[in-house]
Amino acid sequence: MAVIVLRAFIFYILLTLMMKLMGKRQIGEMQLSELVTTVLLSELAVLPITDSDIPLLHGLLPLLMISSIEVIVSYICRKSERFRVILNGNPITLYENGKFIEPNLTKARVSADDIEAQCRINGFAKMNEVDCVILERTGKMSVLPKKSQKPNQSGE
């Protein structure tokens, strides 16, 4: 039992350090590669923690390798727009000029109800108050208000 506790402590410290090195994004803002890395790291850590027949080094090396790959991929994404678009996609306009853009809704697998709910969360009671809704690379929706009309400046 003491071996499992010690291994769990070692892996906890190591995983915490690796996640810190990989970035400070919140779970809801993770890119696809970051989410995959997080799931892989958690799965890779379980076996060496619970099975004392697996040498500690056999558990640590895959963790270090996956973390290194993530750091390299994030660096390449930062330097290369093409690679970033391939890996993370582009923002998708879901609503514009008073109309839902159906092909983009289908592509993003988002319903008009989801968009209306997000607009209400952002403080818009009606869709006619909204100019544009964009699904960002992070998966969050940006809701842009209509520009207010400037008052008549004729001096009257």
Find tokens 């190591």 and name the residue. Answer: 14
Residues 48 and 119 in one domain: no
Question: Structural domain tally of the chain?
Answer: 2
| pLDDT category of residue 40 using cuts at 50, 70 and 90 | confident
Residues 69 and 98 in one domain: no
pLDDT digits (tens, 9 = 90+) for 77-132: 889 999 888 887 889 999 999 999 999 999 999 999 999 999 999 999 999 999 99
Task: Identify the residue with better confidence: 59 or 80.
Answer: 80
Parent domain of 101: 90-145
pLDDT digits (tens, 9 = 90+) for 13-38: 887 777 777 665 555 566 777 778 88
Question: If you write DSSP's letter for every residue of the chain in order, what string do you get?
Answer: -HHHHHHHHHHHHHHHHHHHHH----GGG--HHHHHHHHHHHHHHHHHHH-TTS-HHHHHHHHHHHHHHHHHHHHHHHH-HHHHHHHH---EEEEETTEE-HHHHHHHT--HHHHHHHHHHTT-SSGGGEEEEEE-TTSPEEEEEPPPPPPP-S--
Residues 98 and 65 in one domain: no
Residues 83 and 100 in one domain: no
Mean pLDDT to the nearest integer, 149-154: 39
Residues 68 and 18 in one domain: yes
Residues 34 and 72 in one domain: yes
Residues 69 and 103 in one domain: no
Residue 70 lies in a domain: yes
- Compute the Cα dihedral for 14, 19, 24, 25 and give only its sign: negative
Residues 70 and 134 in one domain: no
